[in-house]
Structure 1
Amino acid sequence: MGAVASDAAVHAWDIAVATGGPSPLTDEPARRPAPAAEELVEPLRGFAHGPAVEAAPGVGDATALLDHLGRDAGRRPGN
């Protein structure tokens, strides 16, 4: 279930970024899929996920998850 939740959460963020909408991913729901994302991401790097982005110290769980999965959550205005 964590892998499915992670995939849905990250793609919802992708769509929000692409359309200029607000991020639907907050820290609380990002905590649940994080362990599954940690296990599954490495075999998918370069295909479904880019290289991990170094998260700034003290970022929230949502930003840390997105950065680990190859999104640059900090590039988004307001983050």
Structure 2
Amino acid sequence: MDDFIINSVCRTERDNASEYRKELPKVIDTILASMQDERCFAHINDEPIHFSTTVKEMIDKFREILFPGYFSSEKIDGANLVY
């Protein structure tokens, strides 16, 4: 009986994850489309944006983005490799 419950719960969670993955491209497209609105990035007066990231941190992030799987400890997921 316990095996049946465990298998059905795991299957349900796997199916839910699969459904979420199918929604991922639509969600990302919506976010990217919203960034086209220039009002989104307008500054108030001449106040500069606070910049607390160091150049090294930025380069490290760019390396993770440009070369997925080589400069991070995270596992690459085929569902979001396109992005």
TM-score norm. by structure 2 comes to 0.28
Question: Which gives a bigger RCO, structure 1 or 2 (Cα 8 Å, sep 6+)?
Answer: 1
Structure number with bigger Rg: 2
